[in-house]
Each structure stands twice: as structure tokens, then as C-alpha cells.
Structure 1
Amino acid sequence: MLIGIVTVQLSCKTESGKGAEVTVSTEIATADSTWEVDFFDDFNSFNEDHWQDQRIWVNNEFQCYVPEGEYGTREVSDGSLKLKVIRLEEELPCDNLDKHGEQHPDTRYVSSRIVTKNRREFVKGKWTARLKIHNNGQASMFPAWWLLGAKNNESPVQEADENICWPMTGSGEIDIFEHHGDHHKDRFTTGAIKSEGECDKGDWWSMRKDFPATLDEYHEYSVEWEGSDLVYRLDGEEIYRNEGQGDKYPEPMFAILNFAKITDSPMEGTWVMEVDWVKHETLK
């Protein structure tokens, strides 16, 4: 960030009546500040230096997250990433565990969830993904693009400081894009999860809001820290703001892309979230 130095001279009198001058300098961000890209993935391949699979059972989801794109659940082709929910012919055992160690029941649905956890983690800045949803609006469809604090204690735990429960500071959650197919066809939800100060207790509703978008067309979905606010943008235009919440998320955060199925209702075809690129930027 380009910095301007502002110098202020203050005059005052001492007890002896003599004058004194005090010079104060402070740094402020100037209008010349620019965003600098420090992470970019355009999915010409699946880069394991950027992403890893995360196989965890949450939100009473019906699908099983499988590794390495098994059953065709993760595909990189023609310059984009495709994450898919696929219905198998029969139920199979699922080895996904929830945060309390409970194993997922047998299921016929499989999908993919990838994260930049311990690959690319950043404090604040701006995260953006360009993505679209195929066959959107079906009941129980739940694709998402979101952030989680890097000290989160959910699997895979790979570093000693990954010991903070959701959604406490260090394990906070910011949802940039979620599509709830049960409720709307061409709408998505964005906003932060407010911590209620205890493990597993978060306010899902007061800081999130739905917005219209043609989900089967590419759009850019982003969140940025602007002073103490979180600003959400669709194709570069501000659509929502969590005022005063930016400083509630001071931790390094990693990005998540996943496609879940949240009820056992029938599904038509294969569900696909196609991602053109993901990037993080820092203000310089």
C-alpha cells in the first residue's frame, strides 16, 4: 500500500511561559493504493501446492466427500475446475467423520470439497472466485465458496495450532457464495457467521443476505476487508456490507470450494459447480 506521511506542528506553552513545538507524523493510505495479486489459480491443472481434499461431514449433508476426484467428482478440463455431486447406483460406506468423530452413514451420493488449508492462507485482503452452477435450483443443492479461520480444529488437523473450535476467533467463517436450491433458483447467499462466543454456536442469519444472479452464467463473487467492514461484491459491484465486522476476523483464513447435498430428495442428472479461477489480493 502506498503511504502518505502527514506532518502536523503543534504549538503550546510550558509553565515557564516559553513556547514549544511538537511535530507529529502519521501514515495514511493514499488514493494510489492498489490491489496486488498474491495467489491465483486458473485451473489449467489441479495444483496440489494450492489445494487439498477435505473430507469432513457437516450440516447433516447426505453426500460423502471422496478423495482425488473419485467417481468423477472433481475434474479439471478446458481451463476450469468442475466439482460434482454424483448419484451412485447403490449405497456405499463413507469414511467421512464429523468434528465429534461420528462416521457418516452409508450413502449413494458422492462429491468433492477442496481447501487451500495449509497451502495458501492469508490475513484479510480480498478473495474472489469466478464460477457458475449448472442445472441450478434443484431441491437440496448446496454449492459454496467460503473462508474459514486457519486455526480451525476440524479434520485434517496438520499443525499444532489448529485447536480452535468453530466459530471462535481463529476459526471464523465468511460465506462469499452459497446457493440453497431448496429455496431459490437464481439467488445466492453471502455474509459472515457471527460468533456467539461458544464452540459450535454461530448466528447464521443476522449478517447474511440473499441476492439475485443468473447462476448458470459466470460471475465474480468476492469479499474484501475495507477498514473495519467486510464488503461483498458481485462482478466488482458492492452488493452488501457487514459493517464493523472486518476486525472480528483477524486470523489467517483459507478458501473452500465444495458441493453438498443437504436432503435425500431426488436429483436430476449430475450437479456441477464450475470454477474458472480463484485469487487473493493484498492492498499495497
Structure 2
Amino acid sequence: MHTLFKTLLIALLAGFSAPGFAQWKLVWADEFTQEGAPDAQTWNFEQGFVRNHEAQWYQPANATCKDGFLIIEARKERVSNPAYKPGSENWKEKQEFAEYTSASITTRNKKTWQYGRFEMRARINTQPGMWPAFWTLGEKGEWPDNGEIDIMEYYRGDLLANLAWGSGERFKPIWNSVKKPVKEFDDPQWADKFHIWRMDWDEQFVRLYVDDQLLTSQEIDKAANVKNKSVQPFRQPHYMVLNLAIGGDNGGDPAGTQFPARFEVDYVRVYEKAR
């Protein structure tokens, strides 16, 4: 029933013009109504150890679509690391095993967007060590010169709304980062509910929201790379990333967490200004 309702709703949204939405036209959406793996025409899987010294091994088996939801599941399970090299100082090689698995999907090399309204309705897991995120990266340039926008990020009790761009020193970003403690919502059931995260991005500003509450904004002219002027981080197409990380540089200790743990996504939608 949920899947049928979403199919009808998306057809209505394509021509929706109620107050507040009159200026927006739906140009793409994934309602996750297919059963099984995410749509291969849209999504790629990241695999293995990827970033931030995180504890999980990313693998396709941990992302599935069921009953109109994308479910990214973190599991406590041991998997072998085929890149293991005894004595290596590289964090991706020195671990013989990963003790956790999860999934990360991206639209890189398949779908990108420049400007618009990006929206996700999801329920996130806020147990210790969980690090879910919905974010974008610019398609050109090395990080952080390409630009990063964290529409939703959570760890250690805080929601984060972030933007990053190049400082002039390789791999060292300039951040516009805002933390919102979940306890400030004054809702003991907040983590049990679905919420809507949104980015409004145009030629002048990026604005990031949760449930229509503005968390941060950034004037694009003031977010230019210090040295790499050939790449404009927020005036180029970006691709999306949806992932559930565990531990690592920021996520915290998952030792006391109950697994499996889920990041459940109802939909992701992109609107552009109507003309």
C-alpha cells in the first residue's frame, strides 16, 4: 500500500503548484518502490574501507529496497579484508578483518545536479557509533576543492549541517559547520520518527534545513577555493551520497550498540525553479 501511494503521489508532485511550491518543479526522485537492490541506473556502491578511518566494511548486500523504503543496514559481522598487508601503516591495509559492515551508495558518474531543492525524508539511528549522512560532492576537483555539502549528518548526539571547500592546503578544508543537539528538539521520541532534510541551493546561497528549521546558510561568493580558482565548488554539478558509517574519526564507539542498526530512507527528491 505504501508503494502504491508513493507512485500516485510522485505523479501529483510533478504538477504540484500549492503555495510554497509554486516556484519548484520536480525534476527527479527516487521513491525506492522497486524491491531489492537500489536502481543501478542511478546508484553506485562504494566498497571496502573508504574514508575517515571508519570501522565498517562497505558492501552492496547492506542496502536494499523494501516496501517503499531504502534500508541501509549496519551489522556486527566479521569480514576479511582482501587488501590486508601485515605491517602496513595504511589504515585500509593494516586490518586483517572488519568487524562491522554497512553500505554507501552514490550517484557519481550517473546523475548530478546544479542548484535546486534537494529533499530527503528519513529515519536515522542515533545509537552510539552511528554516523548516517546524506550529502553531495562536486564532480570536478580533488576534495575539498570540489566542494562538500552535508545536508544531513549525525554523530555523538548532534545533527550537523556542513559545507566545505578548499583552504589552499591539500586535504585541509574550510568549514561552515553547525551542530544541533538532538536533545534540543525536546522530543524523547525524535529518533523514532521520520524527518525531512532539505537543501535550497541557488546562484547566491546554500541553505540547509531539518523539518523546515534553518540550520545554516552559506553565501556562495564567500565559499571560493583559496588557491584552486579553476574549480568553483558550489557553482558546479554535484552528485549525492547516502551512507551509514560506524565509528571512525567522528562516529564514536559502537561497542554498546544493538545491531543490526538501520538508516531508513522514504524518498529523495530534487526540484528546480519553475520557469
Instruction: Give the shorter-chain TM-score range.
Output: 0.7 to 0.9
**3-state SS of the aligned residue for 1:121?**
coil
- Tell me the CA shift for residue 226 of structure 1: 4.2
Contact 1:64 1:94 (C-alpha < 8 Å) held by counterparts: no
1:165 is matched with which residue?
142
Unaligned runs of 5+ in 2: 1-19, 85-89, 224-231
Q: 1:37 aligns with which of 14, 19, 26?
A: 26
CA separation of 1:222/1:111 partners in 2, compared to 1, >3 Å: closer, same or farther?
Answer: same
Q: Which has the higher strand share?
A: 1
1:63 is matched with which residue?
56
- Tell me the CA shift for residue 148 of structure 1: 0.6
CA separation of 1:122/1:38 partners in 2, compared to 1, >3 Å: closer, same or farther?
Answer: same
**3-state SS of the aligned residue for 2:191?**
coil
Instruction: Tell me the distance in 2 between the aligned counterparts of 1:261 and 1:101.
Output: 15
RMSD over aligned CA atoms reads 2.6
TM-score by length of 1: 0.71
- Tell me the CA shift for residue 79 of structure 1: 0.5
Contact 2:130 2:254 (C-alpha < 8 Å) held by counterparts: no
- Tell me the CA shift for residue 53 of structure 1: 0.6
- Tell me the CA shift for residue 208 of structure 1: 2.9
1:175-225 CA deviation, whole Å, 9 max, x = no partner?
011110xx21xx411121242123311134x43332535232111101112
Q: 1:128 aligns with which of 115, 119, 130?
A: 119
Contact 1:35 1:281 (C-alpha < 8 Å) held by counterparts: yes
Unaligned runs of 5+ in 1: 1-30, 152-163
Percent identity of equivalent pairs: 24
- Give the paired residue count: 225
Instruction: Tell me the distance in 1 between the aligned counterparts of 2:109 and 2:233.
Output: 21
1:226-283 CA deviation, whole Å, 9 max, x = no partner?
4512111222343322234577511110010000112554131211000000011111
1:150 is matched with which residue?
139
**3-state SS of the aligned residue for 2:42?**
coil
| Structure number with larger C-alpha Rg | 1
**Structure 2 residue 249 is matched with structure 1 residue 249:** no
Contact 1:192 1:208 (C-alpha < 8 Å) held by counterparts: no
CA separation of 1:95/1:122 partners in 2, compared to 1, >3 Å: closer, same or farther?
Answer: farther
TM-score by length of 2: 0.74
| Residue pairs, 1:45-60, within 5 angstroms | 45=34, 46-55=38-47, 57-60=50-53
